[in-house]
Structure 1
Amino acid sequence: MNVENHSALARRIGELKREKNAVILAHYYTAPEVQAVADFLGDSLALSVEAQSVEADVILFAGVHFMAETAKVLCPDKKVLIPCPEAGCSLADSCDAGAFAAFRAQHPDHTVVSYVNTTVEVKALTDICCTSSNALKVVESIPADRPVIFAPDRNLGSYIRKLTGRENMLLWDGACHVHEEFSLEKLLALKREHPAAKVVAHPECRAYIVAVADYVGSTAGILSYCGQSDAQEFIVVTEAGILAEMRRRHPEKRFIPAPPDDETCGCNNCRYMKMVTLENIAAALETLSPEIVLDERIRRLAERSIRNMINIK
């Protein structure tokens, strides 16, 4: 789509937001033109918190399905729209609620910590949620002698287990298709080409990627680090959608996306996030659908685990 069409759709979306009393929450991994029409842009934790304070009648979540579910959990009286219901999440899909319930039943003495990248049904089986921004703080809030189940991301869980030294953490065997695919060999080659560049990586990456990073953190943490660092070049080892916000905030700096092992697959882009477009955002606002609808019992159980996370300071 050309710039002219983008502009026309963006204007129409602005009109529809005013007409429907709607706001758009968008994740950093969505396409740049989608980020540009958002009222609030952030990572999973920031958007979860923001959803609670939204005063509009309608929340459109420009992101993947579990994010819109989270907004509905926290705002049951609001209409929550998901412009592309097919936009799932490989990490959330790696943790089936039925299988997870059976796993939890085998370890009844464990406190269950689940990443927000899970379905509402898994959140309902969880004691406390976390994001990559606060996973360390969440795990440290649990008494050290209490065993923990951490789901679903084995890489984030392994990273937190190493930071805390907690050997009593059981990890669910799930992963994100984007963060699993980064190539160590190609990353090291980029470091040789750009010796002054700082490597910033998301903790969903494999341990051998995390080990060579100068900074490891959430999308919000990475953005903050790049702004505060004196470095002028950064090799970015996370979903490439974050580059738009990096370049907007710091046009004087250079941000280099780390390549996946197979560069023909476009694996440093989340295919699900990129399913959200200006066209389906406009269509959702026109029709006020598709709408997130949750079972109330499941919603209440999921809300408890999310609020347990939000209440940790």
Structure 2
Amino acid sequence: MLTDELRAEVARLKTERDAVVLAHYYVPPEVQELADHVGDSFALARLATTLPNRTLVFAGVRFMAESAKLLSPDKTVRMPDPAADCPMAHMVLRETVAAARERYGDDLAVACYVNSTAEVKSWSDVCVTSSNAVKIVRALGEKNVLFVPDRHLGRFVASQVPEKNVILNEGFCPIHQDISAAEVAALKAAHPDAPVLAHPECGPQALALADFAGSTSQIIDAAVAGEARDYIILTVDGVRGELERRCAGTGKRFHFPATRPVCPDMARISVERLVACLREGTGEVGLPPAEVADAARRALSRMLELGAR
């Protein structure tokens, strides 16, 4: 439980360090409570470029902090736990990208999910998030789009943009992929009037049972705007805190699969580690080599440009 003393210390440290805390919806709820801004990957990436603070503390996994550093290279970016990583971020081979470019030539765009390393971004033409992937892929001039690293989000994008030839990579989010269709079916049987709101990182069997597929923010917005009493949520359990906060007093209830979808890397971002990061100035995230940083920044900047249209 957060004490008044701890809240006051965090506020003081943020002022002293000219720091702002950005937290993803998937980190523990008490960390979200201490953050200045809570959001999904796209919202936080866009917001980070506009903030005046000298220090950005990213309560999330490495690719998020890395992206913030790429977009704001003159700022200090810190992580409460630099070991918090995303397995999917590494699930792309350079050979896969090279082979696609050789086959399709100038009529290929490499669209890179922001859940990726800076090096993977540097091989790509544009970054996307789950909230803007369909919009950005549709806006690309190229007919052929290699979508990396997540095959499930790529498959969802392909279903929404049939005019494109979307080529899938073999990456995936272990947490979303492991959401069981059988457990979803059991929830539907127990709550037959509950809409199923799913993240498109889910596997195809679970996603086929969804009434709505969208980013974390879009799932939250759908639940807030919906008229149902019960909702089945197919994404990381950390989003429960924001759902309950936004729907407080409405009587709405949220049901997650029996095998609780927890991201162990997001769970590493504890209050203790956040406070230590602010106190001691630990967890600084540096820039990759210049050629990697420049190419990755171009892909991220193009995402912000196309996503704003």
Does the TM-score normalized on the shorter chain lie above 0.5? yes
1:280-295 alignment, distance < 5 Å:
280-294=273-287, 295=289
Q: Which residue of 1 aligns with 2:116?
A: 118
Q: Which residue of 2 aligns with 1:279?
A: 272
Superposed displacement of residue 279, structure 1: 1.1
**Letter of the 1:134 counterpart:** N
Q: Which residue of 2 aligns with 1:254?
A: 253
Superposed displacement of residue 289, structure 1: 2.0
Q: Is 1:236 aligned with 2:233?
A: yes
Distance (whole Å) between structure 2 residues aligned to residue 36 and residue 58 of structure 1: 19
Name which of 189, 200, 211 aligns with 2:208.
211
Superposed displacement of residue 104, structure 1: 4.9
Superposed displacement of residue 166, structure 1: 4.1
Once the two structures are overlaid, the 10-residue window that deviates more, 105-114 or 47-56, is: 105-114
Count of aligned pairs: 302
Q: Which residue of 1 aligns with 2:42?
A: 45
Conserved? CA contact 2:145–2:164, under 8 Å: no
Conserved? CA contact 1:27–1:44, under 8 Å: yes
Conserved? CA contact 1:81–1:289, under 8 Å: yes
SS at match of 1:117: coil
Gaps of 5+ in 1: none
SS at match of 1:236: strand
Superposed displacement of residue 188, structure 1: 0.8
SS at match of 1:132: coil
Conserved? CA contact 1:49–1:310, under 8 Å: yes
Conserved? CA contact 2:61–2:86, under 8 Å: yes
Superposed displacement of residue 101, structure 1: 5.0
Gaps of 5+ in 2: none
Superposed displacement of residue 302, structure 1: 1.0
Distance (whole Å) between structure 2 residues aligned to residue 224 and residue 141 of structure 1: 24
Q: Give percent identity, aligned residues only.
A: 38
1:4-153 alignment, distance < 5 Å:
7-96=4-93, 98-100=94-96, 102-107=98-103, 108-109=105-106, 110-143=108-141, 146-153=143-150
SS at match of 2:283: coil
Distance (whole Å) between structure 1 residues aligned to residue 99 and residue 70 of structure 2: 24
Conserved? CA contact 1:241–1:269, under 8 Å: yes
Conserved? CA contact 2:18–2:53, under 8 Å: yes
1:52 and 1:238, CA in 2 relative to 1: closer, same or farther beyond 3 A?
same
Name which of 262, 272, 294 aligns with 1:269.
262
Distance (whole Å) between structure 1 residues aligned to residue 166 and residue 211 of structure 2: 26
Name which of 146, 159, 163 aligns with 1:162.
159
Conserved? CA contact 1:91–1:174, under 8 Å: yes
**Letter of the 2:285 counterpart:** I
SS at match of 2:264: coil
Distance (whole Å) between structure 2 residues aligned to residue 8 and residue 166 of structure 1: 57
Distance (whole Å) between structure 2 residues aligned to residue 100 and residue 19 of structure 1: 46
Q: Is 1:220 aligned with 2:217?
A: yes
**CA-to-partner distance for each residue in 1:243-297, whole Å, 9 max, x for gaps?**
10000010221011123xxx3xx5x010000001111111111222221111233
Conserved? CA contact 1:9–1:278, under 8 Å: no
Q: TM-score, normalised by structure 2?
A: 0.93
Distance (whole Å) between structure 2 residues aligned to residue 158 and residue 50 of structure 1: 28
**Letter of the 2:291 counterpart:** R
SS at match of 2:49: helix
Q: TM-score, normalised by structure 1?
A: 0.92
Q: Is 1:299 aligned with 2:293?
A: yes
